[in-house]
Structure 1
Amino acid sequence: MSLAEKLLESFNKLPEEQQKEVIDFVMFLNQKKQRDIELMMDEIILENHEALEELGK
């Protein structure tokens, strides 16, 4: 059984209120990942500002 199948099986056994909590947590993790990517990109831009300015000419 794959990890996704195990997760779905366990998820389906939970009461609806706990299923909502699981969904909220997954959404939180996705938002955190996106925020981390954005922070990393901001850092790259700041560290390479001069080079990016030069390339933009």
Structure 2
Amino acid sequence: MMNQEVPFVSIEEKLIQDFMRLPDDKKLEVIDFVEFLQSRTNNDLESLMDEIIIENHEALKELAE
């Protein structure tokens, strides 16, 4: 039995390979989903920053003086 090495494929390479095999309408769905994930991440970050500002309002006010 021969020991064959499996070539390493990065996550990015795998995604690109799979993406290229999709029909155009499915590619558009993938793009929409990626944009959704990015916006959700941005919204999570904005919410976290808002929460930090609210929780530390008094301290931030004092620092501004």
Give the alignment's TM-score, normalised by structure 1: 0.99
- 1:43 corresponds in structure 2 to 51
The CA deviation string for residues 11-52 of structure 1, in whole angstroms up to 9 with x for no partner, is: 000000000000000000000000000000000000000000
Higher RCO structure, 1 or 2 (CA under 8 Å, sep 6+): 1
Q: Give the counterpart of 1:25 among 27, 30, 33.
A: 33
* Count of equivalent residues: 57
Q: Percent identity?
A: 53
* TM-score relative to the length of structure 2: 0.87
Q: How far apart in 1 are the matches of 2:42 and 2:27? A: 23
| Higher helix proportion | 1
Consecutive aligned runs of 4 or more in structure 1 exceeding 3 Å deviation = none
Larger gyration radius, structure 1 or structure 2 = 2
